Amino acid sequence: MLNVVIFGAPGSGKGTQSERIIKEYGLHHISTGEVLRDHIARGTELGKIADGYISRGQLIPDDLMVRVLASVLDDNPEKTSKGVIFDGFPRTIPQAESLKKMLAERGSEVHAVIGLEVPEEELIRRMLQRGKETGRADDNIDTITKRLKVYHEQTAPLREYYEQEGNYLPVEGCGDVDRIFFDIKTRINKRT
């Protein structure tokens, strides 16, 4: 089993590289963004609550996200048997601690944290371009600015947390997508 957290600022390429990691290692992808957007689109109670936070560029409360992730793991044992990739979670140190506890209760752990490192100007450029191409409402300059501020204040400290845990693997997130994936694969393979 291999549990991977893909870590980085909004627009760092987490979704793109997650797809490649999934294909290479047979992992189940858990994108909190996709899970939450699905709930929002279906108009579930969770979706309505989440939409209120997301539309203001804020993070979803920890207890809500941990319950959602636990249910994804518990409801899909055949899909999660080789491991999972967490995309978009954890985003704070308390979330990382909750994830560690939730996985330990299931006899597992986070094995590798892939940190995609991208300069802020490039992040903004990528998200504005993505907004033009996909029509994602949250890819506008005001929301992007808020999301990056939240990232720097609340999520960036996770790097140090996972460095202390001994499983943070930094990867330069600019340039050729294949080269970035090669670097990721090299770092994961050294861990397994």
Interval 17-26: pLDDT, tens: 999 999 999 9
- What integer pLDDT is reported at residue 57 of this predicted model? 80
Q: Does the domain made of 4-183 have the CATH classification 3.40.50.300?
A: yes
* The amino acid at 127: M
- What integer pLDDT is reported at residue 161 of this predicted model? 96
Contact 145, 136 (CB under 8 A): no
Positions in the chain short of pLDDT 50: none
- What integer pLDDT is reported at residue 84 of this predicted model? 95
DSSP 25-93: HTPEEEEHHHHHHHHHHHT-HHHHHHHHHHTTTPPPPHHHHHHHHHHHHHH-HHHHTT-EEEES---SH
- What integer pLDDT is reported at residue 169 of this predicted model? 96
- What integer pLDDT is reported at residue 116 of this predicted model? 95
Q: Which residues contact 162 (CB under 8 A, 6 or more apart)?
A: 5, 7, 96, 110, 113, 115, 168
- What integer pLDDT is reported at residue 189 of this predicted model? 93
Q: What is the pLDDT of residues 103-138, one digit of tens each?
A: 999 999 999 999 999 999 999 999 999 888 888 777
CA 158/CA 161 separation, integer angstroms: 5
Catalytic residues: 14, 91, 130, 136, 147
CA 19/CA 6 separation, integer angstroms: 11
